[in-house]
Every structure is written in structure tokens, then in C-alpha cells.
Chains A and B, each alone.
Chain A
Amino acid sequence: EIAMTQSPATLSVSPGERAVLSCRASQSVSTNLVWFQHKPGQAPRLLIYGASTRATGIPARFSGSGSGTDFTLTISSLQSEDFAVYYCQHYVNWPLEEITFGGGTKVEI
């Protein structure tokens, strides 16, 4: 089973600053990589799929990059509503029985 490791566990930033979050796979996952945002008491929100494609309605300040084993989520200028936990998640195309989330990065003020 492929393990997903996110770093750092916690990222302290100020509004307006850039945040760079890392996700590493234990073996290549090509671009089968998704990013979610999760706030306490709310439903998770899909941000990025295919490693770099923004989901519908996601602001341009969110961008994803990477392939193989190393991936990055960049938030170019943090807004107050961006403080949350961010998860990466990989999947195997077929069968759809290996879906693994990383441990998450908490972005805090």
C-alpha cells in the first residue's frame, strides 16, 4: 500500500503570505493526486485533482503541482478563510480500492 506523507504538520503564516504545503508518496502515483481543504465542523472541500487542475469554483490563489512522488499545494496569498487543514489523497485508477489520505497539514495564523 502506498503511504502519503504531508509536511509540515502545522504551518504558521500571516494573511497575505504565501503557503507551500508538501505531500510525498512512498512510490510513484503519477498525477493521481487530489487536495482537499477541511475546516472544523464542515464538509471537506475538493480543491485540486489530477495534481494540478483546480476544481470548479476554487480561487486561482490555490495551485497544485508535481508528479510521481512529490507534490505541492501553494496558496499564493492567504486569506482569512483559508486557515484550515489540508489533505492530499492518492488513488489507484483501477480497481478503485486503494485510496489513501495523507495525515494533513494545519494552516494556522
Chain B
Amino acid sequence: EVQLVESGGGLVQPGGSLRLSCAASGFSFSSYWMSWVRQAPGKGLEWVANIKQDGSDRNYADSVKGRFIISRDNAKNSLHLQMNNLRDEDTAVYYCARGGFRMDVWGQGTTVTVSS
């Protein structure tokens, strides 16, 4: 079964850091672009970042550029999102998704709350 499982969410103070992970299974992880998408409370979906199969190309939304870093470990079938200098507006459910633009498999999400 094709599956993505996110982890690493939690409560963090403004200015703090958090690292999200996504464990992939059931498909050839190294063959796909991967993405992070988030949904703030009461809001719609917002693309955050994506990464090419070999990690050589990474793209970020303007709202997170310079603060978040997307990475992957193809040997461990895992995707990561290092989030630094977190702000209140980063509070959201963060989804891992397969694909760089046509995201056809999604995880259930992990919740990040930024609050003092």
C-alpha cells in the first residue's frame, strides 16, 4: 500500500525550530518529487516547498523562504522539513505529498502550533 506518514509536529514558541519528517512506503520514493503543503486553522491549502528526486532542486513559497529547509534521504525513504524562526502564522497542519505539482498521494498531516 502506498503510504505517507508525517511526524514531528508539536507546540513551539515563536522564534523556535521544529523538524518534520515523512516516512514513505509502498512506492519507489527516489523516483518522485516530493512536497510539503500546509493548512492553517480555518484556511485553505498552501504549498510550502518541494524537492526533486535527487535533492538537486528545491523550491520554497515566499512565506517560508530563508526559514524552512526541505530535504530527503532516499536510502531511508524519508522526507524532512526543517522549520526555523517559526512565527504564529506558521501554525498549521503540515502535509507531506508525493509529486512536485501534481500531488497524487498525501499523508494525514502533522500539527504544528506556534504559540507562547
Chain A neighbourhood of B46, CB < 8 A:
101
Chain B residues in the interface with A (C-beta under 8 A): 33, 35, 37, 44-47, 50, 57, 59-61, 95, 97, 100-104, 106-109
Please determine whether A99 and B95 come into contact, CB atoms closer than 8 angstroms. no
- Given known A46-B104, A96-B100, contact A102–B33 (CB-CB < 8 A): no
Interface pairs A-B: 9 shortest CB-CB:
A91-B101, A97-B59, A43-B106, A99-B47, A101-B45, A104-B44, A96-B100, A46-B104, A49-B102
Q: Which chain B residue has the least Cβ–Cβ distance from A1?
A: B62
Chain A neighbourhood of B102, CB < 8 A:
34, 46, 49, 91
Nearest Cβ on chain B to A36's Cβ, whole angstroms: 7
* Residue with the highest number of chain A CB atoms closer than 10 Å, among B35, B59, B95: B59
Q: Which chain A residue has the least Cβ–Cβ distance from B33?
A: A96
Please determine whether A43 and B109 come into contact, CB atoms closer than 8 angstroms. yes
Partner of A95, one of B57, B61, B95, B103: B57
* A12 interfacial by beta-carbon distance below 8 Å: no
Mark interface residues in A30-58 (1 if CB within 8 Å of B CB, else 0): 00101010100011111001000001100
Chain A residues in the interface with B (C-beta under 8 A): 32, 34, 36, 38, 42-46, 49, 55-56, 85, 87, 89, 91, 95-97, 99-104
Q: Which chain B residue has the least Cβ–Cβ distance from A95?
A: B59
Q: Which chain A residue has the least Cβ–Cβ distance from B108?
A: A43
Please determine whether A46 and B50 come into contact, CB atoms closer than 8 angstroms. no
Additional A-B contacts beyond A89-B47, A97-B59 (19; CB < 8 A) = A32-B101, A34-B101, A36-B45, A36-B103, A42-B108, A43-B107, A43-B108, A43-B109, A44-B37, A44-B95, A45-B106, A91-B101, A95-B59, A96-B59, A96-B101, A99-B50, A99-B61, A100-B47, A104-B44
Nearest Cβ on chain B to A46's Cβ, whole angstroms: 5
Partner of B104, one of A42, A55, A87, A91: A55
